[in-house]
Structure 1
């Protein structure tokens, strides 16, 4: 795409499609709002230096006060070609895109509080049991130079098929927790079935809550 638009910074892997859930959330919003954008692919060891170079704000802070640089990050030149706006943090970016490009809204009027609770559930409860399963799979799909950086020097963890003893039991327990959360979420979404066959979080209107969930899936 033309460089006159939005640049999304994403993490490279060994598969052709994007894979990081938080970055997928922004990609889905960009596509839904039909905003022209291009992707810059980074290996994990490149992320901090690249984000510092383009003036991206830190997405968090360590306990000792040092900044943390994470993706997603966007650079928007649609609004001002002379002074591009650089943003980090998935929720900050989503709020910005909605405020700046309100067409095809992802926050219907009066829904922000409920959507915020839903997204919090997805991030803090629904995803948590998935991590012991997703992290090893993610590690396997990263380029070699990113693998050690991703696991921060910890030993690589194998998939359930290669585990034995206590590790296998822990893996099976993780899957049971995942199933429990999927069943609970299905029961919640099923409550919309009687509302004119609604199938998404807000019934029939696609919203930010749906992108948060679909990005994980």
Structure 2
């Protein structure tokens, strides 16, 4: 549990949700899909703890606990990725084991409805919004951030493909600047959409005044950039769109405990 959290006062014998995560090169978690779930757990004030798994141990560990695959390849082979949660709190003799961040988010909202991350009537719209964040908004980041993320893993956790990815990382120069320009175009577009909330909110949050699952999806991407590209990436993003992304990060700060 991080120094930012107060959950350490709970008895160690009290059942807690287990969130599986993989470490990077800094103490702060980095993976955006896992941050989405950590935000929900913190926002709902659920008791949980993080179980750290080195990258190369993910599949073996998830198979050993009976976690379902997060997806299936075209050849029928299962794919095991994080996040995964194990929830023994509802039924200690048969804990729920879930993978895939969308499945986990729906589960947590259904069975722990207090402090909803999907405000009433917004689940469909927010699900579409998060799909946009993952499939469109974040897509130009991949050529930049995936090699940096592979490079940022601990040495023994370097996946077999990471050496080629690191070798393909964009060096400083016009190609990298063009890549960041494509990223900025997505940030500019999203800022123009969120700015419409200035008429009945602060123009920062997707739902107006209060953070929700949509904001956690965006902030997860911001933390990915901040942790894996603090100088070349976050130094740029924090200045874009009048500093709105720093303000969104601050809105989400109280839900950044690492337990």
Q: TM-score, normalised by structure 1?
A: 0.91
Q: Does 1:183 align with 2:188?
A: yes
Q: Does 1:52 align with 2:81?
A: no
In the alignment, which of 49, 64, 85 is matched to residue 74 of structure 1?
85
* Greater alpha carbon shift after TM alignment, 48-57 vs 201-210: 201-210
1:97 matched residue in structure 2: 108
Equivalence map 1:1-217=2 (5 Å) = 2=12, 4-149=15-160, 151=162, 154-157=164-167, 160=170, 162-163=171-172, 168-217=173-222
- Per-residue deviation at 1:12? 1.4
- Per-residue deviation at 1:16? 0.4
- Per-residue deviation at 1:204? 1.4
In 2: Cα distance, 1:148 partner to 1:73 partner: 19
Deviation readout 1:158-193 (Å, 9 max, x if unpaired): 655x45xxxx43322211100101111111111101
- Per-residue deviation at 1:46? 0.2
TM-aligned CA distance change 1:180 to 1:132, over 3 Å: same
In 1: Cα distance, 2:126 partner to 2:69 partner: 25
- Per-residue deviation at 1:197? 2.9
- Per-residue deviation at 1:64? 0.6
Deviation readout 1:14-34 (Å, 9 max, x if unpaired): 210100000000000000000
Q: TM-score, normalised by structure 2?
A: 0.77
Q: Please report the RMSD computed on the Cα atoms of aligned residues, expressed in angstroms.
A: 1.6
In 1: Cα distance, 2:161 partner to 2:95 partner: 30
Question: Helix, strand or coil: the match of 1:137?
Answer: helix
Is residue 107–residue 207 contact of structure 1 (8 Å, CA) maintained in 2? yes
In 2: Cα distance, 1:158 partner to 1:84 partner: 42
Deviation readout 1:132-183 (Å, 9 max, x if unpaired): 11112212211112223352x63523655x45xxxx4332221110010111
* Greater alpha carbon shift after TM alignment, 139-148 vs 180-189: 139-148
In 2: Cα distance, 1:148 partner to 1:81 partner: 34
Is residue 83–residue 101 contact of structure 2 (8 Å, CA) maintained in 1? yes
Deviation readout 1:31-84 (Å, 9 max, x if unpaired): 000001101111111000000000000000111101000000000011111111
Q: Which runs of 5+ in 2 are unaligned?
A: 1-7, 223-259
TM-aligned CA distance change 1:110 to 1:155, over 3 Å: closer
In 2: Cα distance, 1:65 partner to 1:120 partner: 24
In 1: Cα distance, 2:20 partner to 2:201 partner: 38
Question: Helix, strand or coil: the match of 1:154?
Answer: helix
Q: Which runs of 5+ in 1 are unaligned?
A: none
